[in-house]
Amino acid sequence: MKIHKEGRRILFVTLLVLLVLNLLVFNFNKGADLFNRLFAGATVIVFLLILQFFRSPFRHLFTHEDLLLAPADGKVVVIENVFEPEYFEDERKQISIFMSPINVHVTRNPISGLVKYFKYHPGNYLVAWHPKSSTQNERTTVVVESDAGPLVLFRQIAGAMARRIVWYVNEGDEVSQGEEFGFIKFGSRVDLFVPLDTEVKVELGQKVKGGETVICQLKVK
């Protein structure tokens, strides 16, 4: 287990602020030992909660050109055929993974290939399970031409708590399955859009692990 680079500065600043607050409380409230202990305990809990947001556990990654791995930790909340308006402009199969505050927030490439399209969209911060969050919230859209052939689109989507999306890919990059392509600070959701004939390997409500759980299998022509 290690701390992700996106959290190091936040954790350092948070630690300093909490230490200063504790020193002030203990200095100006010397007679209230019980309150001081409770306050110190509360600040430790706050720091540990923020710390777990930025954990980055080791994963046993494997690669396979026609299998899509989970791009994030979380729970499968959507499996349905929808119209994808941004890039494909036709019907695709959508699989969505909801990331709760206690999940690992690293996002990983679900498949290896060439990034054919990338776009960042500023937007709202609707709750991640809102039907319009996929098209109205702050998000990134990545389209990869997989080594197996089919195009795969995936999105990082911010939610009510997540207020910053970080990405490490750009159009024209070669990406490798399982490697980090970004980070959603304080979680939210990742959507996958694949061809309609793709065989889904997960079920609604299933918990998945980024870079390990097989989400679906592409049909290779």
Q: What is the DSSP string of 1-24?
A: -EE-HHHHHHHHHHHHHHHHHHHH
**Torsion sign across C-alpha atoms 57, 11, 46, 31:** positive
Of 96, 133, 134, 188, which residue is the catalytic one? Answer: 188
Residue 133 a catalytic site member: no
| Helix 5-28 vs helix 33-53: crossing angle, to nearest 10 | 170
47 three-state secondary structure: helix
91 three-state secondary structure: strand
Nearest to 152 by CA among 72, 94, 98, 74: 94
Phi, psi (rounded to 5 degrees) for 201: -110, 5
Confirm if 154 and 190 have CB atoms less than 8 A apart: yes
Active site residues per annotation: 188
